[in-house]
Every structure is written in structure tokens, then in C-alpha cells.
Amino acid sequence: MSRKKIAAGNWKMNTQINEGIALAKYIADAERDKGVITILAVPFTHIYAIQKKIKSSSKVLLAAQNCHHKTSGAFTGEISPVMLAGMKVPYVILGHSERREYNYEDNALLALKLRAALNSGLKVIFCCGESLNIRKAGNHLHHVQLQLQESLFQIEVREMKHITIAYEPIWAIGTGETASPAQAQEMHEAIRAMLKQKYGKGVAEKTSILYGGSVKGNNAKSIFSQQDVDGGLVGGASLSGEEFVSIINSF
């Protein structure tokens, strides 16, 4: 069964507005594999301007990097999923390892965020993954399974068509370390087995699972060639238009 191939760039807290517009336009106008869904998770401050500058025909989609679990209220500095939907932002990233670590987002909170995002009509890139200590202890499979069980697996089977999973080996984010293609495949295969057990074979085979740990132009092809790796959630390398396009063309 053919799954969607996805290259998602997570800019995090980087680029000034003019830099972001120029980067998005470079990617939108570049010669790239149109069979790959290209997503840019840009800072909130950039969304409106980039929407106005890139052509809808370019098939570059935008994502927010986070949203709140409430649709409105006295939550200073937060972004509602309804606000994002109103701006026609199709995707939101939830559960990124940096949000989990620095903003203390636990599985229970992420379950609420997932519900709010889906109810607002957003598609979700849901992140999961383990730290180096958990990996060394051999508990990585159980840890990721618990993240899925306590957050993602609260949703209905019919809603899984709006979900993309991103596996983040936290020990490989921003460190220059990368899980070997075999390590990536092992976890992606395990996640797909978890999906099959919970939602059935059809959902498991249709759900795209992205690798999110220091994907670069020089390693993307070997990672993406793995049977259960359907693309990447790319951090630092997505800030270079040339390198991100090379990643898009690595399938």
C-alpha cells in the first residue's frame, strides 16, 4: 500500500520575517519532486506573510509549531487551534521533544491538544521519541509505546487519516548524531506494529511515519529508503533552501 511521502521542515525559533519569506519562496519555486508533500513549520509571526508570498500551485503547505489545548480564553501568549484553522493553516506539530522538555508538556496534556486540534479541523504531526538514557537502558520501545498509548491512542480510528507520526530519537536532535538507517527502521516498524494492534492493518499501512533526528542532504536517501520510513521532520537542514530541496528529492 502506497503511503504519502512527506518532507516537513521545522524552522523552530529561527529566521527574521524577510529571511523566512525568501527561504519559503526558494523552496516553493525550486525543482523538486511534486510527489513528495512539502510542509514548512514556520514561526507564528511568519505564517500570514508567507501565505501571501508563495503560490498555492507550488504545493508547499504550512504548519504551526504548536497550539494550545483550549480554543479561546485568558491564556496570554498562546495560540488557539481555531485561530490556526481560521488562517487556513493545515498542519500543526504536537509533542515535539523540545516542547516536552522545555515546556513540560506531558502525555495527558498532549492528548488534550490532539483533541482540540482535530476538533478544529487541523491535521497533526505527532512527535514521539526517547532520550539517550532511555535508549541505552533498552527501554526505548516501551517509552514510545507509552507516549502513543497515553496521547495519540485516545482518538478514534476515523480520525487517524489526519495524523502523521514523527519519530524523534532525542539523542540525535541538534547533536550531529543520527540513528543508523537500521535503528530508524526498527523503531518505525515497531510503531507501525503498535498502530496495527490498536487500529488495524489498514490504518497502520496508510499512516506516514517520519524520521526526525538530524536528517541532512547527505543521509536522507539512506534513511528514506527504509521500508517503514515515509519521510522526515527536518530541523536545522530545513533552514538551507538548497539542502532542504535536496532532502525533498532524496526519496
What residues act catalytically? 96, 168
Torsion 102-106-110-113 (CA) sign: negative
Residues 196 and 209: their CA atoms lie apart, in Å, by 13
Q: Return the bridge partners of 167, or none.
A: 128, 211
Residues 159 and 138: their CA atoms lie apart, in Å, by 32
Residues 125 and 93: their CA atoms lie apart, in Å, by 5
Q: Return the beta strands (E) in the chain as ranges.
A: 5-10, 36-41, 60-64, 91-94, 123-128, 163-167, 209-211, 231-234
